[in-house]
Amino acid sequence: MGADMMSWVLLVAGLLMALISGVFLSFSDFVMRGLAQAPGTAGAAGMIGLNRTVYKSIFMVLFMGLLLGSIALALSALWQLDGAALYFVLAGTLSYLFGVFAVTGFGNVPMNNRLDATSGRAKDMASYWPEYLRRWTRLNHIRTSASAFAALFWLMAANLL
């Protein structure tokens, strides 16, 4: 892949990652606070519904596609780039892999599964929901920042080519 093509791929990947970051930001900024204000277990039930629908969404296509794309970008960069552009691509990939994908897989998803397991048991749901809100949102702040950094790094690399 030539430098022009690599620049375009990095630009598109950076913009798509910025979209991912925006989704995470919306949860950190207002979705979770709104769910927290719902009466009783309504917020928890709403979150369970959101978690169930995300698997059939465009977001999931982007989320998984960027996993493969980030690895491909890193491998291509190792083959073709040097200097700051190479380091920015690698930094973006590492930010996504560890700050977004790993945090999601080892943090948010297990919490989502545990919350889902309380469905139909209002007492269990009500007792887990405050802890879920606090920890899940904290992890989501990490995902928001990491995806924003990945987008920034890839856009900076595109600008250098």
Sequence ranges of the domains in the chain:
3-160
Residue 63, CA atoms < 13 Å, CB-side half-sphere: 20
pTM: 0.92
What is each CA distance from 44 to 25, 104, 119, in whole angstroms? 19, 18, 9
Tens-digit pLDDT profile for residues 83-125: 999 999 999 999 999 999 999 999 999 999 999 999 989 999 9
